[in-house]
Amino acid sequence: MGALRPWTWSRTALRRGFQALVALSVLPLVPMTWVWLTSAGHRVTAAPGTRWAAEVPVMPAALVLGAGVRGRQPTPMLRARLDIAAELYRAGRVRALLLSGDNSRRDYDEPSVMRDYLISTGVPAGRIVLDYAGFDTWDSCVRAKEIFGASRLVVVTQVFHLPRAVALCRTAGLDAFGVGDDSSRDWPAETVAYAVREFPASAKGLVDALVLRSSPRFLGPRETALDQAVAR
């Protein structure tokens, strides 16, 4: 067989180049597709005026993910998550609340601020458990299972974060259902910015959960505080 003519080489190179471009354009969508498919059927939006709580299966606990504090007050987005968690407790959908956040510095304590806010809304202190090492979503999910012994829970966050949070918790081995606050109603610009950030965050989550099976920054011994809060 004779050598390929130059124009044949050119057409082959163009075809392969086009295929490479298509692959590169699709690649960023893979993590987002993964989180959406993994969480499909396991999440609901906490929309005002709807009976969203009735759509949430009864679970032993809710996992509330941190979202920043200012001094001794939760940020507005975190306050919205905490309000959802309090409603889940009052509606009898969960018996205890696991608050997972950042306490990496002495002057920054998300879980304690979250607890104080929930107590101010009427949630009994005995139903609240604190995870001080929830530095990211994957860490919070793994620690909920490995440290606090959870097997079934409702994860609470914002809608833009919900598919990733549910997917990571389910990949960590939890039977997880998610409730998300529709932040676009009150913070449209911030929601768009956070939604865009979900592309790289979902890629990191996929690598942590499926490729590396990364361990949390801190693990430690098994704790029984959540068991006790659920049993009260």
Region of poorest pLDDT, from 45-54, 135-144, 190-199: 190-199
Confidence of residue 168 (pLDDT cuts 50, 70, 90): very high
**What is the pTM for the complete model shown?**
0.87
Asked if the structure places residue 10 within a domain, the reply is no
**The domain containing residue 151 runs over which residues?**
29-231
Q: What CATH number does residue 55 fall under?
A: 3.40.50.620
How far is Cα 163 from Cα 155, in angstroms, rounded to an integer?
10
Residue 26 has a pLDDT of 45
- C-beta separation of 230 from 96 below 8 A: yes
**Using CA atoms, how far apart are residues 229 and 94, in angstroms rounded to an integer?**
11
**Does 4 map to a domain?**
no
pLDDT average, residue stretch 135-158: 97
105 DSSP 8-state letter: B
Which of 16-30, 34-48, 183-197 shows the highest mean pLDDT?
34-48
Q: Does 11 reside within a domain?
A: no
Integer Cα distance of 183 and 180 in angstroms = 9
pLDDT above 70 coverage of the chain, percent: 88
Residue scoring higher pLDDT (28 or 79): 79
Is 190 inside a domain boundary?
Answer: yes
Residue 16 carries which DSSP code? H
Classify residue 6: in a domain, yes or no.
no
How much of the chain exceeds pLDDT 90, in percent?
A: 66
Q: Indicate the angle between helix axes 188-206 and 29-39, nearest 10 degrees.
A: 90
Name the residue among 30, 35, 3 with its Cα closest to residue 178.
35
Does some domain include residue 23? no
Residue 157 and residue 195: Cα distance in Å, rounded? 13
How many structural domains comprise the chain? 1
Q: How many CB atoms lie within 10 A of CB 156?
A: 29
pLDDT for the residue 15: 58
Q: Where is average pLDDT lowest: 99-108, 131-140, 148-157, 183-192?
A: 183-192
Instruction: Specify if 16 maps to a domain.
Output: no
Domain assignment of residue 12, yes or no: no
pLDDT digits (tens, 9 = 90+) for 1-21: 455 455 555 666 655 654 444
Cβ contact 42:170 at 8 Å: yes
| Lowest mean pLDDT, pick from 18-27, 174-183, 191-200 | 18-27
Report which of residues 184 and 63 the model is more confident about. Answer: 63
40-79 tens-digit pLDDT: 999 999 988 899 999 999 999 999 999 999 999 999 999 9
